[in-house]
A and B are shown apart, each in its own frame.
Chain A
């Protein structure tokens, strides 16, 4: 292989260049043969590779799911090649050309970017689960034994309670948190103005606004704050790893719905993977990993705590309207709340 790299060097050439060239040739040949070898297993399988692009949180779940999928009929010989990262970044990189067959995001607007970019069919949400693969809720994560007795949304805005929630402009999970807080106030009969005032109090108590959900968990585990607003599944995973946390289900909270889709160019293997993720078998694994299954028949087998009031983003106007109204970095409600807090911090 690559015999042309072994071309005879004319006699009388200076020594160093020759040796150098030979070294390069050897390195090149090595690299190429390495590539060839690494490509071999993929060719040996008939199923091919599924490029999975997902947000950060379900990484541990997908390692179990991929193994389990390989044991199914549709998954025999299929390699799932995953990539995890912040939901927004992942969506942008797919639009910019990163190859993807199955995409799973934290929130629907990220999938909408792909629909807008022509990469995902606009009928992606027409299936029985309306395009969602998992559900979860926004929970309170507190110190063991809940020393500050935090059980309701009102407890979060008491003096001396340190709240940690990621920065809304950089984290999808933070958007769920803010909408859970806002919606909980509405569910308790407050007016939108009162609910907005609550957001101001909540962010006033924020002792850290890390850039992502995982950074927020790190910050909380480092000892900062009294309560962390987090995905229930992420909190359950932390607890399962033995982290010293208690999980409180607030009386009112939002139902988190995570969208999934195949791209227009997806192979049959990718479609089989999606079908598996939505099948009773796949949904059972999701449930074991701390996610609320979207199939009612599977969900019934798990005993997730039921909050008194559970609302969805559609109750608050849907993502398109909420994103502009709350989360525009220049004109959104949260930007204004932060600004007024910043001004009051600076003057007082």
Chain B
């Protein structure tokens, strides 16, 4: 699409009437005033509006839905001044909850990146009966209300576990809950990239004498790495804020299994909204930092952003 004007004209879309046959090579039809179409200035303004309007709409929408609430959150967090903010985020229970949350979220993102890659691989490269169903099932953690997920996990991996696996009140239990809710991110980030991967490159590598392992390590994985990282970033960001699926299986014991979101909820219930906002600001800032680092890493691997 180098000559936009010609393309629009060829498609016969309103704005540029079809040109008479034969005049095509000589005339630049876009600049000829059409008898019924809009004035060129108007058309140009329209294009300009589309060019500016798109971003403007996006920014407005983003501001109303994301930036404004985040700004309000930050304002609330600092409403008691720096001292109160600092006290809220350095309080031992808050520190313990933040450390626990960030540690488990990072571990879960790492584990799910590997597992997600494997699942995506199977879904793209292998054919088996029920593949469509498996593919659909992967997205279910998105649809399931997280509190129901929490109840289900407690029934499965709690004291009455049919498998005699009691993870209630343990950090491993929190990890399992987080792995459950974040798996779709890790699979869905990798899957389309893997599907688009050019099979010819692999064949070329093989025909040039690369072993299966070399193809994997030098051709496939490097192309997938940005997508895997993107999935890991999303999974991490989702995990640090997760509440519903964890709150039952964790037992919510301060300093042991109390996650940041739960501590924040407690603060909000105790009329300590500035403190709750302060701890949230820390969570959001760390998540933002991680997402920025991941974005930088993806660019560094010099692979176009496909996801």
Beta-carbon contact of B92 and A342 below 8 Å: yes
Beta-carbon contact of A223 and B92 below 8 Å: no
Supposing A169-B269, A170-B265, A329-B266 touch, asked if A224 and B93 sit within 8 A by C-beta, the answer is: no
Beta-carbon contact of B272 and A345 below 8 Å: no
**Residue of chain B at shortest CB distance from A327:** B270
Give the residues from 133 to 181 in chain B that come closer than 8 angstroms, CB to CB, to chain A. Answer: 151, 154-155, 158-160, 168-169
Supposing A88-B270, A170-B270, A224-B169 touch, asked if A211 and B255 sit within 8 A by C-beta, the answer is: no
Tell which of B87, B91, B268, B269 has the most Cβ of chain A within 10 Å: B269
Partner of A330, one of B169, B254, B256, B272: B272
CA distance A114 to B159 in the complex (A): 42
Beta-carbon contact of B255 and A167 below 8 Å: no
Task: Tell me which residues across on chain B come within 8 A of A210, comparing CB atoms.
Answer: 247-248, 251-252
Beta-carbon contact of B252 and A208 below 8 Å: yes
Partner of A338, one of B93, B265, B269: B93
Supposing A222-B160, A339-B93, A342-B254 touch, asked if A207 and B169 sit within 8 A by C-beta, the answer is: yes
* Residue-wise interface mask of A (217-230) relative to B, using a CB-CB cutoff of 8 A (1 in contact, 0 not): 01100111000000
Beta-carbon contact of B252 and A209 below 8 Å: yes
Beta-carbon contact of A209 and B248 below 8 Å: no
Task: Tell me which residues across on chain B come within 8 A of A169, comparing CB atoms.
Answer: 266-267, 269-270
Q: Does A300 contact B (CB under 8 A)?
A: no
Task: Tell me which residues across on chain B come within 8 A of A209, comparing CB atoms.
Answer: 251-254, 258
CA distance A222 to B152 in the complex (A): 10
Task: Tell me which residues across on chain B come within 8 A of A35, comparing CB atoms.
Answer: none
Give the residues from 99 to 155 in chain A that come closer than 8 angstroms, CB to CB, to chain B. Answer: 113
Q: How far is the CB of A166 from chain B (nearest CB, A)?
A: 9
Beta-carbon contact of A88 and B160 below 8 Å: no
Q: How far is the CB of B274 from chain A (nearest CB, A)?
A: 11
CA distance A345 to B256 in the complex (A): 8
Q: Does B127 contact A (CB under 8 A)?
A: no
Q: How far is the CB of B152 from chain A (nearest CB, A)?
A: 11
Partner of B154, one of A207, A222, A335: A222
Beta-carbon contact of A338 and B255 below 8 Å: yes
Beta-carbon contact of A170 and B269 below 8 Å: yes
CA distance A209 to B194 in the complex (A): 44
Beta-carbon contact of B265 and A211 below 8 Å: yes
Partner of A329, one of B160, B256, B272: B272
CA distance A89 to B269 in the complex (A): 6
Tell which of A167, A210, A335, A341 has the most Cβ of chain B within 10 Å: A167
Partner of B253, one of A208, A215, A328, A335: A208
Listed from nearest, the 3 A-B pairs whose CB atoms lie closest are A342-B255, A223-B159, A169-B266
Q: Given A207-B169, A208-B169, A211-B265, list of 12 further CB < 8 A pairs?
A: A86-B269, A92-B271, A167-B252, A167-B266, A209-B253, A211-B252, A211-B262, A218-B151, A223-B159, A339-B255, A342-B92, A342-B255
